[in-house]
Chain A
Amino acid sequence: MIERKCTKCGTWNKDEDHCTSCGAALSPKAIDQEKEIKRKEEEANKQPSKFDLFLEKSKNSKFWIVRVGYYIMYSVTLIVGAFGAFVAWMVAMANA
């Protein structure tokens, strides 16, 4: 049987994921989950960059052509196509 001492309050716990006294994460799985939640919270609270604002503005533009442009330009296929062509050009340049 594994026993873990809580690093926050010092209570000894049996094989629990969280401290029975204060609720702090104890097992590696619970610690990982806590980190993931913290990371997601930080991501949600982060200030959007200029690129994010530009994307958001294009996505919700009142002009339909801008919205269509956003969906075409920001599609996975176009990104892959454009960068794929760029990498191919670079490889060709390296061979020449």
Chain B
Amino acid sequence: MKLIRHPYFFIALALYVLIRLGRMNQMFTGWLNDHATDLLCMPIVLSILLLVTQVLKKDKNLTLPWYAVALTVVYWSIYFEWYLPKQSGIYTSDQMDVYMYIIGGIAYFFWQKSVFKRQMPLRPEHLPLDKASN
């Protein structure tokens, strides 16, 4: 829940929606139009996946390990850049998009690390004396 409510998540989501809408009337050109959504989609998707995992595992402090992030990046790269272009003409295979997924995954991992590092566990010395023994 922490990442979903984080300002960075909203900024990434707003940018993603804006660029996707911009594609309809050619608002943006170049890198912003071609690759920015691929860069943004990994942090957005992984934040949602973290929420789902936290709910299923009933642990709100759970974080995604590096191999789960890597698995998602590899899966999305294969699915969108290799499998779907072979199946449908609307998808194009682009090596640059794979790099964007990887950068997005790494950025997500360090962002998650920084957000969850700040929380301090409730230590016995911070509790009132009658509760500290529990």
Residues of A within 8 A of B (CB): 17-18, 23, 25, 29-30, 33-34, 36-37, 74, 76-77, 79-81, 83-85, 87-88, 91-92, 95-96
Q: CA A69 – CA B56 in complex, angstroms?
A: 16
Name the contact of A76 in the complex, choosing from B62, B91, B128 (C-beta under 8 A): B62
Residues of B within 8 Å of A, CB-based: how many?
Answer: 30
Q: Give chain B's interface residues, CB within 8 Å of chain A.
A: 41, 45, 48-49, 52-53, 56-57, 62, 64-65, 67-68, 71-72, 75-76, 79-80, 84, 88, 90-91, 122, 126-128, 130-131, 134
* Chain B interface SS verdict (over half): helix
- Decide: B49 and A18 in contact? CB cutoff 8 A: no
Contact A87 B45 (CB under 8 A): yes
Asked, given contacts A76-B65, A80-B64, whether A95 binds B90 with beta carbons under 8 Å apart, the answer is yes
A29 to B48, CA, bound (A): 31
> In the complex the two chains form, what is the Cα distance from A91 to B64 in whole Å?
21
**Least distance between B120 CB and chain A CB atoms (Å):** 12
